[in-house]
Each structure stands twice: as C-alpha cells, then as structure tokens.
C-alpha cells in the first residue's frame, strides 16, 4: 500500500475513534447538567481540567515516546518489549504517586469520592499509555475501537449511576473508573500486553533516552493549554462572563477545523515517522504539504463563505458580536492545523524540543497581545491575538523545519492564497448580500480549483466502481 493510501486509511480509522466519542459526550451532557448540582458539575469540570494538566507533568509525557520509538522497531518483538516494559516501569509508580497527591486538591469531598478520583487518575494514565503503545505497534483499529468502547461504557454508566440511581458526583466518578478499566483491558488484550512485559528488560539508559525525547513535550503541552485557554481567562478577568460566552460561541465554527486537526495529526505523525528514513522523504513531505494546504485552504474558504448562513442556523440569542470574530478565528484555525503538519515532521525526526519552543513562543505572543489590547479593543484582542500567534507558529515551524528536513514550499502560492482569504474576511465583515454572494462563489471556486486533481481521482474511482457494477 502506498504511503498516501496508508495516510488516508489511518485518517479514516482514527476519525472513528475521535468523532464517535464526541457524539456520546453530547448524549451525556444533558444528563450531567440536569442531574448534577452546579457545585458537583464544577468539580467534574475541575477533575477533567486536572487530568489534562497533572498527568503530562507527572509522567513527563513518556507515553508519547512509546508511540514514536515503537514505530522504529515494528516487527522486532524483543526491542518492542524493551521499550514497552521500561515505559511502564516509569508510568506505574509515577501515576500511583500522582493519584495520592491529587486527593489533596479536593479536601471538601467525601473520602469515597476522593478515593475514586485517585483510582480514575491512575487508570486514565494507564489507558493513555496503552493507547500510545497500541498506535506504536501499528494497531490503529484497536486504538479507535478502544476509544469508542470507553465512551460508550461511560455513557451507559452515566445513565445507570447518575440518571437512574441519582448518585451525583459519586456516580460520575464511578462511571469514569469503570469506563477506563474496560477501555484499558480491551487494549491490553488486543495487543497481547503480557507478551511484551519482562522485568528483566529494565534499562536505565533506555529510560533516560525515552525521557530525553518526551520531557520537552511537557512545556509544549502546557503552552498549548495556555494558548487555548488564555483568551478565555483574560476575557473573563477584564470583560466579564458574558463576553466570555460571546467568545465561546464565536469559536463554535472554527472548532470544526480543530476537530479535523486532531485526527490528521495522529495519522500524519505515524506516516511522517515511517517515511523519515526514506531517501525520498523530502519529496514526500513536499507533496503532502501542498496537498494539505490545498485541502485545508479549500475548506477554510467554504467555511468563511458559509459563515452568514451557518451563524443564522446555529446561533440563537444576543450573540451578534460573535459573528465578527468567527472569520478571524476560522483563519487562525487554518494556520494552527497547518502548523501541526510541521509538528508531525518534528516528531518524525524526534525534534520534540523544537515543538515545545515554537508552542511556547506562540503562547507568549498570544498572552502578550491579549493583555496589551483587551482594554483598548475588547473581545477583538482575543481573536486577533489568536490569529497572530498561530500565524507565527506556522511560519516559525515552516522555516525551522528546513534546517533538518528540506521541503519545497511554493511561497508565492501560499501568500497569494492567504491574501484572497483575507479579502473574503473583509467581505464577510461587511454583512451585505452582494458580498455574501461573491464570497460564496469564491469559496466554491477556490475549493474546486485547488483540489481539482483530488476531485478527478475521487470521480475516477466512483466511475470505475459504477462500470464494474454495470
């Protein structure tokens, strides 16, 4: 199978593991908001937030090393066993300590709930590690099925313990524990985990090598969190909760691109890593960059063109100010997704330090612009700071990647395309029917023109299938 087809296949498989859990979360949301008190829901949100912050710091992101290092030794069971064994040598004791410490964040909760939170943190860390190991050994279908199984189990348990038995926050924590246990057991069985674990393979030198790769991802993870959350924190502090709600609504459409980004990154990291040692790696990366740019630019143009219609269909209430922020944030998401393309090449070449530095720079720029302009231009400061930060992130990574992996980039094409998109933004702001029609024509035209070769391939395969059936 060609690398391109492998990338498409992995993207499709991994998308199932991302989108179906999102769907189950929509089912549980009304149950949780209806059955939990505001205080209980606040604790539930705090638990989720602490998971994102504490686990990466406690584990030094060593589970990311499992994925990258296992790719290089696929088919070599002995070397895979060395890596997996030493990954768990670090993960298990560290997660136990973190689980004990985490209880001190919830002194007002009952002993049973705090105990369950500790168990959840431990099991969730193991599940995250198993997920990266599963991807590393090349079993993406198992990874996606595991994610779906975890989400469905959690949804069923929430219905049982929260809706039927009315156990509140206790029921939520029980649901999280049971779901993660089921998800972890499934992955462990599917990859035959016990065949890879051997205490005699403990190797301090290998652990140091794994941590040398993974620890730069910790500041990257924290910076990425700051990059996404700083806007809301600054808006809430200076403009109030209502302005924060407006900004949250403004992010709804742009988040469609960010969801696609999550799937693309997982698939691209694997393909880029496998291709990194090939003689034609530079040519492959160049072709994939051009394809990714064309596809994402086309969808960005369509999304901006469709903003007037989508806003009226999806948004209710007094959120008119959110409309003006949407096109800016859509373009910001375009640069964020494109920067993730180069992030995949960093991972492929094990340049995780560069990933962390670039994200930290972008987070610093975002926060600085927010603080400087929030009192001057209000909510616009958040949208503009996000756009500038992601543009800098993309340009920085694009130029920095050339130092260790030369890639052919059509700078003229990218600059002209971005100028056209900028013109579409201006027309979208005008909120006039004639400009909306022009944007609609431009959006469809840009998508078809930049992706004409891809459309021909899709139509060609569709025609071939009809002929075979005929």
Give the model confidence (pLDDT) of 142-174 as tens digits. 988 998 899 899 999 999 999 898 888 899 999
Q: Domain range spanning residue 324? A: 216-468
Is there a domain that residue 2 lies in? no
Residue 233 and residue 277 share a domain? yes
Whether residue 250 is predicted with pLDDT greater than 90 in this model: the reply is: no
Encode pLDDT of 209-235 as tens digits: 999 888 877 877 777 777 777 787 788
Residue 371 and residue 262 share a domain? yes
Residue 333 and residue 239 share a domain? yes
Residue 317 and residue 386 share a domain? yes
Residue 231 and residue 271 share a domain? yes
Phi then psi for 362, rounded to 5 degrees? -65, -40
Return the H-helix or E-strand segment holding 422: helix 411-430
Domain end: 183, 211, 239, which one?
Answer: 211
Is there a domain that residue 1 lies in? no
Residue 222 and residue 256 share a domain? yes
Residue 127 and residue 31 share a domain? yes
Residue 223 and residue 156 share a domain? no
Taking Cα atoms as reference points, which of 137, 140, 131, 142 lies closest to residue 77?
Answer: 137
The CB density around residue 100, as the number of other CB atoms within 10 Å, is 12
Q: What is the total count of domains within the chain?
A: 2
**DSSP letters for 324-343:** HHHHHHHHHHHHHHHHHHHH
Confidence (pLDDT) at 34: 79
Residue 275 and residue 200 share a domain? no
The CB density around residue 314, as the number of other CB atoms within 10 Å, is 10
Is there a domain that residue 245 lies in? yes
Residue 142 and residue 49 share a domain? yes
Confidence (pLDDT) at 4: 59
Query: What is the pTM assigned to this prediction?
Result: 0.75
**If you average pLDDT over residues 401-419, what whole number do you get?**
91
Report the C-alpha gap between 68 and 179 in whole angstroms.
Answer: 26
Phi then psi for 217, rounded to 5 degrees? -75, -15
Residue 286 and residue 142 share a domain? no
Look up tokens 């005008």; give the residue: 430
197 SS3 class:
coil
Residue 242 and residue 165 share a domain? no
């Amino acid at each position: 199978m060609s690398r391109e087809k492998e990338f498409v296949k992995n993207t499709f498989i991994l998308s199932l593991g991302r989108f179906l859990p999102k769907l189950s979360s929509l089912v549980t949301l009304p149950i949780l908001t209806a059955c939990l008190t505001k205080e209980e829901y606040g604790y539930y949100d705090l638990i989720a937030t602490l998971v994102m912050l504490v686990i990466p710091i406690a584990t030094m992101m060593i589970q990311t090393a499992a994925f990258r290092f296992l790719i290089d030794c696929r088919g070599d069971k002995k070397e895979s066993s060395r890596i997996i064994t030493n990954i768990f040598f670090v993960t298990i004791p560290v997660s136990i300590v973190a689980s004990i410490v985490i209880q001190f964040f919830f002194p007002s909760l009952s002993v049973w709930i705090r105990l369950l939170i500790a168990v959840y943190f431990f099991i969730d860390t193991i599940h995250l590690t198993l997920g990266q190991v599963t991807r590393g050994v090349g079993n993406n279908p198992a990874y996606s099925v595991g994610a779906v199984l975890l989400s469905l189990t959690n949804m069923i348990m929430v219905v049982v313990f929260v809706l039927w038995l009315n156990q509140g926050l206790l029921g939520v924590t029980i649901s999280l524990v049971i779901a993660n246990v089921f998800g972890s057991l499934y992955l462990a069985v599917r990859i035959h985990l016990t065949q890879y674990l051997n205490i005699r393979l403990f190797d301090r030198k290998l652990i140091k090598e794994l941590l040398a790769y993974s620890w730069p991802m910790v500041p990257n993870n924290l910076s990425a969190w700051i990059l996404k959350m700083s806007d809301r924190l600054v808006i809430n502090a200076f403009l109030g909760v209502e302005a924060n709600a407006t900004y949250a609504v403004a992010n709804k459409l742009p988040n469609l691109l960010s969801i696609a980004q999550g799937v693309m990154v997982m698939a691209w990291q694997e393909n880029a890593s496998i291709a990194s040692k090939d003689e034609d790696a530079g040519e492959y990366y160049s072709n994939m960059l051009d394809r990714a740019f064309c596809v994402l630019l086309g969808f960005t143009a369509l999304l901006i063109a469709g903003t007037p219609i989508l806003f009226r269909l999806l948004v209710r209430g007094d959120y008119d100010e959110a409309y003006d922020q949407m096109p800016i944030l859509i373009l910001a998401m375009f640069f964020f997704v494109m920067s993730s393309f180069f992030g995949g090449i960093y991972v492929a070449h094990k340049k995780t330090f560069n990933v962390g530095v670039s994200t930290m720079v972008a987070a610093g720029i975002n926060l600085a612009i927010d603080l400087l302009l929030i009192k001057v231009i209000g909510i616009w400061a958040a949208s503009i700071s996000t756009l500038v930060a992601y543009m800098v992130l993309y340009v920085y990574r694009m130029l920095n990647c050339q130092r260790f992996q030369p890639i052919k980039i059509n700078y003229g094409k990218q600059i002209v395309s971005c100028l056209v998109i900028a013109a579409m933004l201006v027309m979208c702001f005008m909120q006039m029917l004639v400009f909306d029609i022009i944007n609609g024509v431009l959006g469809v035209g840009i998508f078809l023109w930049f992706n004409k070769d891809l459309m021909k391939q899709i139509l060609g395969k569709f025609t071939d299938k009809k002929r075979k059936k005929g």
